[in-house]
Amino acid sequence: MTTQGTTYKHTSQQLDERTIQVERVFQAPRDLVWRAYSEPELLKQWWGRGNPLDVERFEFEKGGHWRVVEHYEGGSAGFEGRFREVTPKSLISQTFEWDGMPGYPVIDTTELFDEDAGKATRVRITSLFFSKEEADGMAAAGAEAGMAQSHSALDALLERLQSG
Q: Tell me if 141 sits within 8 A of 23, measured CB to CB.
A: no
Q: What's this model's pTM, rounded to 2 decimal places?
A: 0.90
Burial class (CB in 10 A: 0-12, 13-18, 19+), 2: exposed
Domains in the chain, CATH or no CATH each: 9-163 (3.30.530.20)
pLDDT in tens, the chain (164 residues): 444 444 678 888 889 999 999 999 999 999 999 999 999 999 999 999 889 999 999 999 999 999 999 999 999 999 999 999 999 999 999 999 999 889 989 999 999 999 999 999 999 999 999 999 988 887 777 788 888 899 999 999 999 999 97
